[in-house]
Structure 1
Amino acid sequence: MPTSDEDYVYDDASGEWLPASAAKAAAAPSDTVEVRDAVGNLLADGDQVTLIKDLDVKGAGQTLRRGTLIKSIRLTGDPQEIDCKYDGIKGLVLRAEFVKKR
């Protein structure tokens, strides 16, 4: 008989009795999305990135040139899109495949 006061629950997937805390942690879905740049680096909120390709910005009539530095990005929850600010362009969303972490 276990000496701790922790409850145990039966895990159907593994066929074992697990502590309730471990079962709850395993059942909780992961709400973090991994966003990776063009070369595979993991991106996070607040990172600086540079463009690896010239991009025409729809609605702004402007082209962002290769090598342009974008500061303080924000992750959107989509693994392929990042939200960022750039002078003169409101609501700029870039695809992660066109940026490289600085």
Structure 2
Amino acid sequence: MNEQQLRQRSGDQCELCGDGSELGVYSIPHSEGRGDTDILVCGRCRAQLEGGQPLDSAHWRCLGDSMWSPVPAVQVQAWRLLKRLSGETWAQDLLDMLYLEDDLRQWAEAGATVAEEERVVQRDCNGVELCAGDTVTIVKDLDVKGTSIVAKRGTAVRGISLTDNPEQIEGRVNGQRIVILSRFVKKTG
């Protein structure tokens, strides 16, 4: 499809996030032998898709809407992005809801294997891989920068979130959401 046809199909909006600025054609990678593999994306989405910027998980919450697109290429790209963000609880929930026909799932998975190699992995003090939603225990008293809070050794942090940094996780301690270095926690559940 040419850009004009994509603009008509999408109503002059990014097919992933709905933004209307800096629109351009994006060809879904790893689409050998497929027909319609182009989608219309904004500059912000393109920068993250092409690796110029890290994935901003807050930006990609838009996939909750775009994953239901009737356009197969949009569905495949939404699946791939949700797979890369599956460390986030909300993304895993959306991925669990997204149904793709067998041929579309194979197409989506063909590009996901490359993305898996880029995946950031957080590990606790014992080298155990951490996942979003895990419960961890703090193994050392930690001063929380910018506050008077001290996260005490032995404090359980439930429902952690992962970050783009392999050395950091996020969790709620004493009612406040903080960033914690993963080397100072131990996975407990």
Please say whether Structure 1 and Structure 2 have the same fold, judged by a TM-score greater than 0.5: yes
Question: 1:40 corresponds to which residue?
Answer: 127
Which sits farther off after the overlay, 68-77 or 56-65? Answer: 56-65
Q: Is the 8 A contact 2:124 2:183 kept in 1?
A: yes
Of all paired residues, the percent bearing the same amino acid is 40
Aligned to 2:145: 58
Gaps of at least 5 residues in structure 2 are: 1-31, 34-106
- Structure 2 counterpart SS, 1:28: helix
Once residues 26 and 49 of structure 1 are traced to their aligned partners in structure 2, the CA distance between those partners, rounded to angstroms, is 29
Runs of 4+ in 1 over 4 A off after TM superposition: 24-27
Equivalent-residue separation in structure 2 for 1:44 and 1:52 (angstroms): 18
Question: How far apart are the structure 2 equivalents of 1:27 and 1:101?
Answer: 27
Count of matched residue positions in the alignment of Structure 1 and Structure 2: 81
| CA positional deviation for 1:29 | 3.2
TM-score by length of structure 1 reads: 0.68
RMSD between superposed Cα atoms in Å: 2.3
* Deviation for aligned residue 1:27: 7.6
**Structure 1 residue corresponding to 2:174, chosen from 80, 84, 87:** 87
Instruction: Specify whether residues 86 and 28 from structure 1 end up closer, same or farther in structure 2 by C-alpha distance, changes over 3 A only.
Output: same
Of 110, 115, 125, the match for 1:29 = 115
By relative contact order (CA 8 Å, sep 6+), the higher-ranking structure is 1
- When Rg is computed on C-alpha atoms for both structures, the one with the higher figure is 1
Amino acid at match of 1:92: I
| 2-structure distance, mates of 1:27, 1:74 | 23
Q: How far apart, in 2, do the equivalents of 1:72 and 1:65 lie?
A: 18
Quote the offset at 1:78 in angstroms: 1.1
Q: List gaps (5 residues or longer) in structure 1.
A: 1-5, 8-20
Superposed displacement of residue 25, structure 1 = 4.5
Higher strand share: 1
